[in-house]
A = this chain, B = another copy of it.
Amino acid sequence: MQPTLSVQIGPLILENPVGVASGTFGYGSEYEALVELNALGAIYTKAVTLAPRPGNAIPRIVETPAGMLNSIGLANPGVEAFVEHKLPELKTRRAAVIANVAGASEEEYLAVLERLEEAAGPWISPPEGLPISACSARTGIDGYEINVSCPNVRHGGLAFGTDPIQVERLTAALRARTRRALIVKLTPNVADIAPIARAAEAGGADAVSLINTLVGMVIDVRRLRPVLAMGTGGLSGPAVRPVGVACAYKAARAVRIPVIGLGGIMCADDALQYLLAGARAVQVGTGTFVNPRTAEEVLCGIRAWMEREGVERVEAIAKMLA
């Protein structure tokens, strides 16, 4: 038996459930020498914002036990440069390309998405039931991941991501502007992720992805100041994996749309925890830094596990938890 690995996210069928997380993989080419890009189910790009963002003051990263903090601050060249310099290359990818969109206001999110829609042109769906990789004409953008949850931007996304009303409104406004897959990326920095996931669903999202990073801080006790220039940063890596799995578990029971799980995935078993918790797909973030082949190894391991357990469709794993 050859297990079926494809996963449907709204209009988009991913060839396999394993993607690489926004902000940890650049726009794909950075890891080209080390990673078989064609093996990836999806590439979630670094955040795209309306204006170019140089990013936060330095230092921006620090290691923590089994984790790291980052305060990159959505450093990116802005939507125009993205369209000009990154889009052409992204059209050549086999993996689904999901543009991660961020903004400081509803208008900004909308403007970025509109510009990307315009540049990528209309959504071309592959023949019914086939993964996007089977599509002969690729547009460079196969979906959007709306980052309403970045802890590293002042007056930024975080306010959105913790308020169900704002999440629903923003999602609905974006939904009205695209036929592409629309994924809302949620923050774990809330008392309960379920209402936020439901708000995204109500707004018309095709999926929710979670988790973004947890707010954290490291203080340099010799220099008497926070290590990161911005004070706090976002915690990622294996340390947060149990938090991510719990969030995926809750969200999967709160909504009918697919949940995409991430946070601390370092190996196939970690990814399987997310899938068993109810996620339909996963992303590898910090894991790529530690071992660039993590996503490939995760995919391999999921396939082997499915063969061993006699599971035919990867999407079925979401219902297997006792």
- Chain A positions near chain B (C-beta within 8 angstroms): 64-67, 69, 158, 162, 189-192, 214-219, 221, 223-226, 231-233, 235, 237-243, 245-246, 249, 264, 269, 272-273, 276-277, 305, 320-322
Given that A219-B277, A231-B249, A249-B232 are contacting pairs, would A241 and B65 also be in contact in the complex, using a CB cutoff of 8 Å? Answer: yes
B-side contacts of A217, CB under 8 Å: 242, 245-246, 249, 273, 277
B-side contacts of A235, CB under 8 Å: 242-243
Q: Top 6 A-B pairs ranked by shortest CB distance?
A: A216-B242, A239-B239, A66-B66, A65-B238, A65-B66, A217-B246
- Cβ-defined contact, B239 with A66, below 8 A: yes
How near does chain B come to A311, taking the closest CB pair, in angstroms? Answer: 10
- Cβ-defined contact, A242 with B64, below 8 A: yes
- Cβ-defined contact, B191 with A221, below 8 A: no
- Cβ-defined contact, B238 with A66, below 8 A: yes
Given that A219-B245, A221-B305 are contacting pairs, would A67 and B64 also be in contact in the complex, using a CB cutoff of 8 Å? Answer: no
B-side contacts of A322, CB under 8 Å: 223-225
A-B contact pairs, 22 of them (CB 8 A): A64-B241, A65-B237, A66-B239, A67-B239, A69-B242, A162-B191, A189-B190, A189-B191, A190-B191, A216-B242, A216-B246, A218-B273, A219-B276, A221-B269, A221-B273, A221-B305, A224-B321, A231-B249, A232-B249, A238-B239, A239-B239, A239-B240
B-side contacts of A237, CB under 8 Å: 65
Given that A224-B320, A231-B249 are contacting pairs, would A219 and B66 also be in contact in the complex, using a CB cutoff of 8 Å? Answer: no
Point out which of A65, A66, A226, A305 has the most chain B C-beta atoms below 10 A from its C-beta: A65
How near does chain B come to A220, taking the closest CB pair, in angstroms? Answer: 9
- Cβ-defined contact, B216 with A243, below 8 A: yes
B-side contacts of A239, CB under 8 Å: 64-67, 238-240
Report the bound CA distance from A225 to B126 in whole Å. 37
Residue in B closest to A235 when the chains form the complex, CB atoms? B242
Residue in B closest to A221 when the chains form the complex, CB atoms? B272
Extra pairs beyond A66-B239, A216-B246, A239-B239 (5, CB < 8 Å): A66-B66, A190-B190, A214-B242, A225-B321, A238-B239
B-side contacts of A66, CB under 8 Å: 65-67, 238-239
Given that A189-B191, A239-B239 are contacting pairs, would A276 and B320 also be in contact in the complex, using a CB cutoff of 8 Å? Answer: no
Report the bound CA distance from A67 to B238 in whole Å. 10
- Cβ-defined contact, B67 with A242, below 8 A: yes
Report the bound CA distance from A322 to B65 in whole Å. 24
Given that A215-B243, A243-B216, A246-B215 are contacting pairs, would A221 and B276 also be in contact in the complex, using a CB cutoff of 8 Å? Answer: yes
Report the bound CA distance from A217 to B251 in whole Å. 13
Report the bound CA distance from A232 to B247 in whole Å. 10
Report the bound CA distance from A223 to B320 in whole Å. 10
B-side contacts of A191, CB under 8 Å: 158, 162, 189-191
B-side contacts of A233, CB under 8 Å: 242
